Amino acid sequence: MTVSQDVSNTITTPRHRRALVAGSVGNFIEWYEFGVYGFFATIIAANFFSTTGGSDLESLIKTYASFAFAFFFRPVGAALFGRLGDRIGRRPTLIAVLLLMSVATTLIGVLPTYASVGVAAPILLTLVRILQGLSAGGEFGGAVSVMTEFAPQGRRGLFGSWQSFTVALGLLTGAGLTAILATVLSPEALSSWGWRVPFLLALPMGLVALWLRLKLDETPAFERAVATTSPVPTPRRAAPTVVVVRPGAAEVARAIALGIGRLMGWSAAGYTFLVVMPSYLQTSLNATFQQALVATVLANVGFALTILPAGALSDRIGRRTVMLSGTASILVLALPLLNLLQDPDGSLAAKGFAVLLAGAAVGLIAGPGPAMLAEMFPTTVRYTGLGLAYSLSNAVFSGCAGLIITALIASTSNLDIPAYYVMITCAVSAVALGTLRGNDHQRELQD
C-alpha cells in the first residue's frame, strides 16, 4: 500500500471520521483567524495603532507587539484547559474552548478603531487577542489528543497530521477570502470596513463547529484511564475517592522542554513563511498587497501538499527521519530562496516556486509533529503536556516572529533577517529531534 492509499483508506469508521472532523474544526477556525490577522496586519496597524507623527513601520511593529503579547496567553490557556481536559475529559473541554474562540474572533469584527475611540481601540483589540490566546492554547492539546487517541495502531502520524492540515486549510481560506475582498473592494473600502468581514464570518463557522463537537465521543484512552483508576480506602459512609497516578512534575517539565526544542523550527519557519511573508514583502520589498497574497497562497499550498503524506510516511519510517528532512531542507534553502524573492530581475515563476518549496519544507515537520508530541506524554497529562509544549514554542517563536523580524530589519536594514531567524531555530530543532528513537512511532501511547 502506498502513502497516498494510506491517506485515503485508513479513516474508515464513522467514529474515526467524527474524531478527525470534530478535532480539526476548531483548529481550522483558529488558524483562519490567525492568517486573516496576519494578512491584514498593515490595515489593522493603520486602523488601531496609527497615531499622528508615527510611521507605517512603527504602527506595524505595535500591531505585532500586540500579537506577541496575546500569544503569551496561549500557555496559560494550555495549562488551564489542559488540566480540565485531563480531568473531566477531552470532549467538554474542547466545546468550551470552541465557544470562547468563536466569540473572541467575532468581536474583532465589531471593535471601534483609533479614529473613533482613540487609545481605547488598541487596548480593546489586545484584550480580545488575549481571549483568543487563551482559547488557542486550549485547542491544540485537546484536538491532538482526540485525533491520536482515536487513531488505530500504526496510523497516529496520519491522524495527527490532520491537525496540521487544517492549519493549512485555515490559512488558505483566510488568504483566499482576503484576496477576494482585495479584488472586489477599493483600497478605501477594504481599509474602512472590508477587513471586518472575515472576522464576522467566524460566528457562523463557530456554530457549525459547535454542532460537530457536540456529536463527538470521549476518547477511548481517556475512558480507559478513568476506568482503570483505583479507589483508596476511605472512612465508612464516605464516597470512594478516585486516585489517578500521574508522572512527576519534573518529568513532565523535562518532556515539555524537549518538545519545545523539537518544535521551535516548525513554529518559526511556519509563521515566517506562511503568515509574516505578506507584510515583509510589502514593507521591505515594495510588493503590492495582491502580490504578497499570491505569494502567501503559494506557500500555503506547498505546506498543505506535504502534510498528510509526511504524516503517513512517518508511520512507516519514523517521525525522526521525516522531521529532520524538513529542518535540514529549511537550513539549506532558506537564504537562497529569500534572496531569489529579493532579486528584482528574478522571474515570477521562479519566485512562485521558491515560496511553494518553502511551504512544502515546513509541511515535512508539521505532518508528523502532532503525533510525535502525543507520544511524549501519558494519557493523564497528555492534553496539558503537549498543549504547553506547543503553545510555549508558538508564544516565543511564532508570536514574536513578526515583531523580531520587523524590528531587526528596521534597525539593521538587513533584508536577510527572516532567513537567519528560521535557520537558527531549525538548527536547534534538528539537535532536539535527533534524540527521538527510531521506533517511537511503533509504540503504544502511554497510559
Q: pLDDT (tens digit, 9 = 90+) per residue, 254-289?
A: 999 999 999 999 999 988 887 777 667 776 677 777
341-377: pLDDT as tens digits? 788 777 778 888 888 999 999 999 999 999 999 999 9
- 367 or 223, which is more confident? 367
Closest CA to 66 of 136, 126, 130: 126
Q: What whole-number percentage of the chain has pLDDT above 90?
A: 44
Q: How far is residue 255's CA from residue 267's CA, in Å, rounded to a whole number?
A: 18
145-175: pLDDT as tens digits? 999 999 888 899 999 999 999 988 998 898 8
Specify the pLDDT at position 426.
95
Specify the pLDDT at position 393.
92
Specify the pLDDT at position 265.
94
408-438: pLDDT as tens digits? 888 888 888 888 999 999 999 999 999 998 8
pLDDT at 1 > cutoff 70: no
Specify the pLDDT at position 312.
95
**Mean pLDDT over residues 388-392, rounded?**
94
Q: What is the dihedral of CA 15, 305, 30, 141, to 10 degrees?
A: 60
pLDDT band at 88; cut points 50, 70, 90:
very high
Domains of the chain, each with CATH number or no CATH:
14-227+248-442 (1.20.1250.20)
Specify the pLDDT at position 11.
52
Q: What whole-number percentage of the chain has pLDDT above 70?
A: 88
Give this prediction's pTM: 0.82
pLDDT at 242 > cutoff 70: no
**Mean pLDDT over residues 390-413, rounded?**
84
Specify the pLDDT at position 238.
45
Q: What is the mean pLDDT of the chain?
A: 84
Q: How far is residue 55's CA from residue 77's CA, in Å, rounded to a whole number?
A: 34
Among 204-213, 236-245, 335-344, 434-443, where is mean pLDDT lowest? Answer: 236-245
Specify the pLDDT at position 6.
47
pLDDT at 39 > cutoff 90: no
Give the list of residues 6+ apart from residue 87 with CB closer than 8 angstroms, or none.
none
The DSSP call for residue 446 is P
pLDDT at 229 > cutoff 90: no
Q: Strands 241-243 and 230-232, how do they pair?
A: antiparallel
173-182: pLDDT as tens digits? 988 898 899 8
Three-class DSSP category at 38 = helix
Specify the pLDDT at position 5.
47
Which amino acid is present at 224? Answer: R
Specify the pLDDT at position 50.
67
283-315: pLDDT as tens digits? 667 777 777 778 778 888 999 999 999 999 999
**Phi, then psi, of 232 in degrees rounded to 5:** -100, 155
Long-range contacts of 202-207 (CB under 8 A, 24+ apart): 202/29, 202/32, 202/33, 202/102, 202/105, 202/106, 202/109, 203/102, 203/106, 205/28, 205/29, 205/32, 205/102, 206/29, 206/98, 206/99, 206/101, 206/102, 206/103, 206/105, 206/106, 207/102
- 71 or 314, which is more confident? 314
Specify the pLDDT at position 232.
46
18-28: pLDDT as tens digits? 888 888 898 89
- 231 or 194, which is more confident? 194
106-153: pLDDT as tens digits? 999 999 988 888 888 888 988 898 998 899 899 999 999 999 999 888
